[in-house]
Amino acid sequence: MIRITLIVVCSLTIVGVLVYMHVQRPVVPVFPLLPEEQAAFAEAKMAWGDAVDAFGPEVVYEEVAEAYATRRGDEWHTAGHILGELFYERYGMQAVGMCDQRFDLGCYHEVIGRIVVSEGMGRSAALLRTCEEYGAREDCVHALGHGVLAASGYDEESLLRALDACSTYTKSAHLVHSCPAGAFMEYNTRLLADGTNRSWESTIRPLAPCDRLPEGPVRGICYFWMPQWWLGYLRGELSQQDLFSSFYELCASAQTKKDRSACFAGIGYTTMPTQAVHDGSPCSVLPEDARDACLAVAETGQTMNPYTHP
| CA atoms of 117 and 217, how far apart (whole Å) | 26
| CA atoms of 99 and 178, how far apart (whole Å) | 17
Q: What is the pLDDT of residues 211-237, one digit of tens each?
A: 999 999 999 999 999 998 988 878 777
Q: Which residues contact 177 (CB under 8 A, 6 or more apart)?
A: 138, 139, 141, 142
Q: Which of 51, 76, 27, 142 is CA-nearest to residue 275?
A: 76
Q: Which of 307, 306, 267 is CA-nearest to residue 290?
A: 267
pTM check: above 0.75:
yes
Contact by Cβ (8 Å): 297, 269: yes
Phi and psi at residue 235, to the nearest 5°: -60, 135
Count the neighbouring beta carbons within 10 Å of the beta carbon of residue 300: 11
Q: How many residues does the chain have?
A: 310
Low-confidence ranges of the chain (pLDDT < 50): 4-23
Distances (CA, A) of 25 to 22, 70, 274: 5, 21, 24
Q: How many CA atoms lie within 13 A of 298 on its CB side?
A: 21
Contact by Cβ (8 Å): 182, 22: no
Domain boundaries, the chain: 41-193, 207-310
